[in-house]
Copies of this chain bind each other. A is one copy, B any other.
Amino acid sequence: MPYRQLIESCLADTIGEGGLGAASLARLLEAAGPVLTRLAESGADGSLAFLAAPRRSDDLAACGDVSRSMRDNCGDVLVLGTGGSSLGGQSLTALVDRGSGPPDGTPRLTFLDNVDPHSFDVLLEGLDFAETGVLAVSKSGGTAETLAQLLVILPRLEAAVGRDGVARRLAVITEPGDGILGALAETYGCARLPHDPELGGRFSVFSAVGVLPAMIAGLDPEAFRAGACDVLDASLGAATAGDAAPALGAAVAVGLAQERWILQNVLMTYVDRLATFGLWHRQLWAESLGKDGLGLTPIDARGATDQHSQLQLYLAGPLDKLFTIVSLETAGLGPKIEPERAEGLGLGYLAGRSLGDLLDAMARATADTLARNGRPVRRFRLSELGEYQLGALMMHFMLETVIAADLLGVNPFDQPAVEEGKRLARDYLQAAGGTAS
């Protein structure tokens, strides 16, 4: 497996009364058995879209065509979309080293997931539309922010490359049928890739929604999907729920919620390239579990940085949080500190050490200190980080979320509460000249 999960420091046997009792864990793992069986059946018969997405390869040719065209013709590519239409692609492309610009042969990718007028003014001023491509992503094809972004950009793109030129510069990902984004694609005759109607945004990263931006950025979609498939095989083929890492993670989280009133889940990643992954996970967990008055609050944190911001609260505040520390084997990596410089300043502990040694020690010390203070900590460890490992990580957390939803008794695939706000925003816009309070 491309990662290792250790849950010992979540258990009462290890950390005392803040942890989960052995009997409770056993009960929850037994309860997770049936959902694992159902997931395995759905995985085999292809009836659950998020399990099927990483096993596909028939969609890569169409993604490759768009990706090649963008890479050949564009210095900038704007990815329009919000929530699940954006965070997967953002997480994947965070793997690319940018330095002072994108790697040779790839355009600069900019994910636009908001409609801040000031940010747009600055963006539009700095863009050369003669060399800009646009990828617009909306499952329904009717997301107000995404359509507004596109309607602002289209006249500028058209002015630069002509109406016919737009056909080669614009691509959309949206459901089949007659949504607005699809209609726009038809008007311009541009590439239109299908968004599986059964695949909610937060579960879409293994489809074109995540894979196409990754390909434009020069990443390997097959390695990404292979990581997910290996996690699926290992988890859904496990002999017992206790042998399936995502079931174990879900059982711990739900058990601590039900028996210890621990409703906040902190995902603390000690890897800069996983910062956006933390935001992706935050959506996955919040939208999937937050309903019917239930739900656990996902909190993303960055190590070692947030040791100087959140750790005081984590260690000494209320005992209401479960921690997942995600770290990478960084010992020996990165620039080293010259021994004589460190020793000359009385910093013997840094002498000859690399930044990777320091980060590694920080991750370990934080996890150990949380556990010593009776706070439940799960340790998540990667030996390397690339497309394959990120794919594994993302599938782990998707499975964990779906299993946790089953244990809580909520439907992980809907998000009924957000419609009211959308309607209200449209009403306010329609009521011309209204000013906000």
Contacts and interface: CB of A to CB of B under 8 A. Distances in A.
A310 B335 contact: no
Interface string A281-323: 0110011011111110101001011011111111111111100
Contacts of A293: 316-319
A222 interface: no
Contacts of A55: none
Nearest to A181: B345
Given A299-B297, A415-B312, A329 B436 contact: yes
A172 to B, nearest CB: 13
Contacts of A435: 329, 331, 360
Nearest to A117: B334
Contact of A99 (B117, B125, B331): B125
A312 B333 contact: no
Nearest to A273: B118
Contact of A327 (B295, B356, B361, B436): B436
A89 to B, nearest CB: 14
A117 B151 contact: no
A155 interface: yes
B264 A429 contact: no
B116 A272 contact: yes
6 contacts: A116-B273, A118-B333, A148-B337, A295-B318, A316-B416, A358-B429
Given A115-B304, A115-B358, A117-B356, 6 more contacts: A115-B359, A148-B350, A151-B350, A152-B337, A293-B317, A373-B420
